[in-house]
Amino acid sequence: MQFGGRRKKNSINPQSELYGQHLQFYGQPPLENISLSEFETFAVERLKLLKTVENLGVSHVKLTDLYISKLEKELKKSQSGPTEYEKRRKDHISHFILRLAYCQTEDLRRWFIQQEVDLFRFRFNDLDPKQQLEFLHKNNLRYDTVSFPKENTWHISKTDALDLVRLRKVYLKQGYAYIPHQDIVTIVLNDFRTRLSKALALTARSLPAVHSDERLQPLLNHLSHAYVGQDYSIQKNVGKISLDQIDSLSGKSFPLCMRQLHQSLRENHHLRHGGRMQYGLFLKGIGLSLEQALQFWKMEFIRGKVDADKFDKAYAYSIRHMFGKEGKRTDYTPYSCMKVILSNPPSQGDHHGCPFRHSDPELLKQKLQVYKVSPSGINQILELVKGMHYQLACQKYFELTHNIEDSSFSLNHPNQYFLESQKLLGGGKDIKREMDAPQRSQENAASKGSTATQEVAANTSQHLAEMTEDLDSFFQDA
């Protein structure tokens, strides 16, 4: 894959034969030139699709009618393109882009493989038997499928037929393997999983060469931690949350990560720099103004070991910097779930991070008991944590603490949790309406075909800005 100017509309793709079906093993990497803008857009759209596959796979039994209908709906949204050829081309290229981003660690590889296998399973089952057979033969898997009707309809001997039924063995004839349909799906999925696992290992070896391209390294690192939803720093509700409300809101509408930070701050009158960054940007996102933030942190810190003069000298600058009033005047965004989970893990004495990812299961269980989560609910959460579905565990916590059966959203951001909670409790109508305004304007632009690139460019620019000027240097403890 190479990067250059805009692709010519009439150019011929030498790999056009790969797009005869909407399903492939991704054995051949893309060879055409694509622009960086297209690279970014394709990557983010596939990442959104894989996150949807993950959420549906945990929330519903896979391949049930409900699961299939919801995934079909999401696929229709993601498979945009003027022609079937363009849709398949985007599928091919976007898969390989995410390979580069998700081959970097074992956790990333495991997550990527599982979502791609689930997506492949859905697409394979969506093919009719003739198309499945064509796909297998095209990929040199010389299989055919058989059912188990009455024995006199078999085109093999009676003895062989009975052995196949009883022992579930494959029947070989003239280079073909005849396998029951339910078994062929398992075999094909295992084949795809094995191929993809080996491919990711090979891709990881090539990363030093890829990272030598300074255009790609920050982008690929960003994708593996990417948040692809609403930007919660863009809002008009500044000042609509009073300082007196924070204690009450923390118990009703804060996600567990922020609830734990707030509780620790109240108890210790101090948070280390990681906690201040995570919690401070969250409070900014829910509506605290700069003046309120300075007052909030100062009031709490002077109750501990920091006097007013020391706070003004050591901490006030960093809060103004967070709001884009110092330094490069970057308007820093609240942390997404992916950033909380995957970056800057807490060490001893820290209280930031994701409780579902970074807490010992027994300590997490005790915390949930204190917050009056039912025993059965705790078990459900711990099962999700065991399966490394940390965002889904948080979403289950939301459902249990708000007494609802099924939340109607996919949780990706602590500030999203707060807004959905306030919306449900009836206290966030104004906040929800005004914070949705930027999102509605983006959706209107999408209808004109321009939003995807703009959104990716904005996310990438924000990420690069945060990389070049790290807030950590302003949050060092005195």
Q: Where are the alpha helices (DSSP H) in 354-413?
A: 355-358, 361-370, 375-386, 390-401
Question: Is a pLDDT exceeding 80 seen at residue 36?
Answer: yes
Nearest to 44, CA basis, from 6, 78, 75 = 78
Structure token pair of residue 308: 């007013």
- The pLDDT, as a whole number, for residue 80 is 65
How much is the average pLDDT of 119-145?
84
124 CB-near residues (< 8 Å, 6+ apart): 23, 132, 135, 185, 188, 189
Report pLDDT digits (tens) over 399-430. Answer: 999 999 888 788 889 999 999 999 999 865 54
Report whether 394 belongs to an annotated binding site: yes
Tell me the pLDDT of the chain averaged across its residues. Answer: 79
Q: What residue type is assigned to position 351 of the chain? A: H
User: What percent of the chain clears pLDDT 70, i.e. is strictly above it?
Assistant: 74
Q: Grade residue 436 by pLDDT with cuts at 50, 70 and 90.
A: very low
Which domains does the chain possess?
A: 19-126+190-225 (1.20.930.80), 131-187 (no CATH), 244-426 (no CATH)
Query: How far is Cα 406 from Cα 413, in angstroms, rounded to an integer?
Result: 18
- The pLDDT, as a whole number, for residue 414 is 95
Question: Is a pLDDT exceeding 60 seen at residue 444?
Answer: no
Report whether 103 belongs to an annotated binding site: no
The DSSP annotation for 19-77 comes to: GGSS-----S---SEE-HHHHHHHHHHHHHHHHHHHHHHHHS-TTSHHHHHHHHHHHHH
CA angle 14, 20, 21 (to 5 degrees): 135
- The pLDDT, as a whole number, for residue 435 is 47
Number of H-type helices and E-type strands within the chain:
23, 5
Report whether 257 belongs to an annotated binding site: yes
Report pLDDT digits (tens) over 221-264. Answer: 777 766 666 777 655 566 678 999 999 999 999 999 999 999 99
How much is the average pLDDT of 321-346?
88
Query: How far is Cα 110 from Cα 69, in angstroms, rounded to an integer?
Result: 26
Q: Grade residue 342 by pLDDT with cuts at 50, 70 and 90.
A: confident
* 3-state SS assignment for residue 330: coil
How much is the average pLDDT of 299-320?
94
Structure token pair of residue 74: 């999401």
Which of the pair, 262 or 77, is modelled with greater confidence?
Answer: 262
Question: Is a pLDDT exceeding 90 seen at residue 396?
Answer: yes
For residue 444, give Cα distances in angstroms to 379, 416, 432.
42, 21, 18
- Residue 399's Cβ-count burial label (10 Å; 0-12, 13-18, 19+) is middle
185 CB-near residues (< 8 Å, 6+ apart): 121, 124, 125
The DSSP annotation for 147-185 comes to: ----GGG-SS-HHHHHHHHHH-PPEEETTEEEEEHHHHH
The count of C-alpha atoms lying within 13 angstroms of the C-alpha of 241, restricted to the half-sphere facing its C-beta, is 33
Query: How far is Cα 100 from Cα 220, in angstroms, rounded to an integer?
Result: 7
For residue 46, give Cα distances in angstroms to 33, 80, 138, 217.
19, 11, 25, 19
Report pLDDT digits (tens) over 157-187. Answer: 445 544 544 445 555 555 555 666 667 788 8
130 CB-near residues (< 8 Å, 6+ apart): none
Structure token pair of residue 87: 């849709």
Q: Where are the alpha helices (DSSP H) in 212-255?
A: 217-224, 246-252
Q: Grade residue 451 by pLDDT with cuts at 50, 70 and 90.
A: very low
Q: Among the listed ranges 262-266, 289-293, 346-350, 453-457, which one has the minimum average pLDDT value? A: 453-457
Structure token pair of residue 34: 């694509």
- The pLDDT, as a whole number, for residue 265 is 97
How much is the average pLDDT of 145-162?
46
